[in-house]
Amino acid sequence: MMSETGPHQSLFLGIDGGGTKCLGRLVDASGRVLGEGLAGSANAFQNLQGTRASIVNCAEAALASAGIAAERLDELVVVAGLAGVNVPRCHSAMTQWSHPFARFEVFTDIHIACVAAHGGEGAIIVVGTGSVGYNLVDGKGHSYGGHGFTLGDQGSGAWLGRRALQAVMLAGDELGPATQLTGLAQAQLGVSGLEVVDVMSAASSREFGAFAPLVIAAAEEGDEVARSILDEGAAYLDAMAMKMLAAGAERLSLLGGLANIMAARMSKPVKERLAPALAQSEEGAVRLALRLQTGQ
């Protein structure tokens, strides 16, 4: 993407940084897209120095995409929405960073996703490998859930996978109902019985998430255990949605790979309030970067 830009034109970069990649969008003061950049992961909790490097690499890639000299890196006004900065010490470390830009502001990745989804204030629930809710009302943001695979993330892909394997183990001990999940899980793992425990004892949330499609498939075939797992997850997300709507959110969007699956099982009052996201997350960071020029 090539674009002509004068030497004194203001440059704004919005970045969406997560556990797998860092995506940036470069715009001018009018919001016209000049270029985009892609770099490595940007989870400040997992790797602070790596996150900083990814942000710089992303900025350099965006400038190159726009045909703008790398020397203008120090003219960029950058807003980054990052995974991990909900942890206070990580947020503090990023705000104290001696960055190479004209200005740098950091928000949580879910904050910029909310701004992007609604063009401003509203509420979102992200349902992917993990799950988290966030509402932005009267200028104040508040998160719900997002407690991680060990303590929460109900309704997420990892949670569905773990509940599926728990059901398989209960069925094997004849302490729970028989389920199609047993055959499906054994076929995917290549083991059965206590060997499942051995294989999955140190599994990551992503590895557990790989079993979520089995729950969905079994539910579609009428398996009651799989259906009950989906219903349990959807009920949690539904309660979260109702809480955020009661707090004053005007719009609510469900995002992530499992959004449609879970939305179908949520209550009618919540379904009636669901609205599609207006833009991708990096656009939320761009909006926030542009606001800095007016002091908002």
Q: DSSP string of 83-108?
A: BTTTSHHHHHHHHT---SSSEEEEEE
Domain shared by 265 and 284, yes or no: no
226, part of any domain: yes
Buried b (16+ CB within 10 A) or exposed e, 230-255: beebbbbbbbbbbebbeeebebbbbb
User: Which pLDDT does position 8 carry in this prediction?
Assistant: 61
Alpha helices, H only, the chain: 48-66, 88-95, 109-118, 148-151, 157-172, 181-189, 194-200, 205-209, 212-220, 224-246, 259-263, 268-271, 281-292
Domain shared by 62 and 80, yes or no: yes
237, part of any domain: yes
**Rg of the chain in Å (alpha carbons):** 21
118 Ramachandran zone, left/alpha/beta (phi>0; psi -120 to 50): alpha
User: Which pLDDT does position 294 carry in this prediction?
Assistant: 64
CATH of residue 40's domain is 3.30.420.40
- pLDDT tens string 137-167: 999 999 999 888 889 899 999 999 999 999 9
22 Ramachandran zone, left/alpha/beta (phi>0; psi -120 to 50): beta
User: Which pLDDT does position 92 carry in this prediction?
Assistant: 96
205, part of any domain: yes
Residue linked to tokens 């004892």? 201
CA dist 61 and 81 (Å) reads 18
Domain shared by 161 and 244, yes or no: yes
User: Which pLDDT does position 31 carry in this prediction?
Assistant: 92
Cα-based distances in Å from 148 to 132, 188, 197, 217, 233: 9, 25, 21, 25, 15
User: Which pLDDT does position 2 carry in this prediction?
Assistant: 44
84, 256 Cβ separation under 8 angstroms: no
Domain shared by 248 and 162, yes or no: yes
Instruction: Report the domain count for the chain.
Output: 2
Listed as ranges, residues in the chain with pLDDT below 50 are 1-3
This prediction has a pTM of 0.83
Domain shared by 258 and 285, yes or no: no
Which residue range forms the structural domain that includes residue 283?
Answer: 11-119+279-292
Domain shared by 50 and 112, yes or no: yes
User: Which pLDDT does position 20 carry in this prediction?
Assistant: 80
Domain shared by 153 and 265, yes or no: yes
33, 68 Cβ separation under 8 angstroms: no
